[in-house]
């Protein structure tokens, strides 16, 4: 959703509030894509005067992310709490010189999709587990070990590790 802030800049002490509707049903990163299960986002603007607008976005987005151990889908809630003072006096060159990261603001057009994408991206977790004691999957057959053990033979060992296994067996308590 693109919001034009031109009218708000004309009103002294003006306010605008929006209940955001996301256009995408999938959240894309450079390496993965996650289904957007649920969201509730409120965006508000307040004209502070002298071409300064304060913006606030609050809410949450729920993504379906696979567990890092067993690959089962996990609903992961990301809370959004964004606040920024937008200086509409700055030119594009001034923003670049200051390394301002307002990619969602071009002129008086505010792109809510870019804002939400950036906020979710910086809040993505490094690791997601379906539960704390997730057992993962079998490295041979791929069976989910949370559902039960598999029929794979555990006795077959890598022959290159036989010497280290002998050392471990020497110090094993009987």
* Average pLDDT score over residue span 64-90: 88
What's the confidence (pLDDT) of residue 63? 95
Tens digit of each residue's pLDDT (9 = 90 or more) over 154-174: 655 667 777 777 787 777 654
pLDDT at 138 over 90: no
Closest among 59, 9, 12, 18 to 39, alpha carbons compared? 59
Tens digit of each residue's pLDDT (9 = 90 or more) over 88-137: 776 666 655 555 556 777 777 888 888 888 899 999 999 999 999 999 88
Predicted TM-score of the model (pTM): 0.74
What's the confidence (pLDDT) of residue 173? 56
Count of CB atoms situated within 10 Å of the CB of 108: 16
Helix (H, G, I), strand (E, B) or coil at 91: coil
Regarding predicted confidence, which is higher, 156 or 55? 55
Helix (H, G, I), strand (E, B) or coil at 137: strand
- How does residue 47 score in pLDDT terms, banded at 50, 70 and 90? confident
The per-residue DSSP string of 142-153 comes to --BTTS------
- The answer to whether 61 touches 78, Cβ cutoff 8 Å, is yes
For residues 136 and 111, give the distance between their C-alpha atoms in angstroms, rounded to a whole number: 40
What's the confidence (pLDDT) of residue 78? 94
For residues 149 and 109, give the distance between their C-alpha atoms in angstroms, rounded to a whole number: 56
What's the confidence (pLDDT) of residue 102? 62
What's the confidence (pLDDT) of residue 86? 80
The radius of gyration computed from the CA coordinates of the chain, to the nearest angstrom, equals 25
For residues 114 and 64, give the distance between their C-alpha atoms in angstroms, rounded to a whole number: 20
For residues 50 and 40, give the distance between their C-alpha atoms in angstroms, rounded to a whole number: 31
Beta strands in the chain (DSSP E): 2-4, 15-19, 26-28, 33-49, 52-66, 73-87, 105-106, 109-111
Count of CB atoms situated within 10 Å of the CB of 87: 17
Tens digit of each residue's pLDDT (9 = 90 or more) over 7-45: 877 777 778 888 988 888 999 888 889 999 999 999 998
Percent of residues, the chain, with pLDDT higher than 70: 87
What's the confidence (pLDDT) of residue 174? 47
């Amino acid at each position: 959703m693109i919001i034009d802030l031109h009218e708000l800049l004309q009103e002294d002490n003006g306010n605008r509030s929006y209940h955001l509707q996301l256009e995408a049903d999938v959240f894309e990163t450079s390496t993965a894509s996650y289904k957007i299960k649920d969201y509730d986002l409120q965006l508000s603007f307040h004209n502070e005067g002298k071409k300064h607008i304060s913006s606030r976005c609050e809410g949450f987005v729920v993504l379906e992310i696979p567990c890092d151990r067993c690959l089962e889908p996990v609903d992961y809630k990301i809370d959004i709490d964004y606040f920024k003072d937008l200086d509409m006096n700055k030119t594009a060159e001034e923003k670049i010189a200051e390394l301002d990261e307002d990619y969602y603001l071009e002129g008086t057009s505010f792109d809510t999709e870019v804002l939400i994408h950036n906020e979710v991206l910086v809040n993505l977790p490094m690791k997601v587990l379906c539960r704390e004691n997730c057992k993962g999957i079998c490295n041979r057959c791929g069976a989910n070990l949370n559902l039960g053990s598999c029929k794979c033979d555990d006795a077959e060992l890598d022959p290159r590790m036989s010497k280290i296994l002998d050392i471990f067996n020497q110090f094993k308590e009987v």
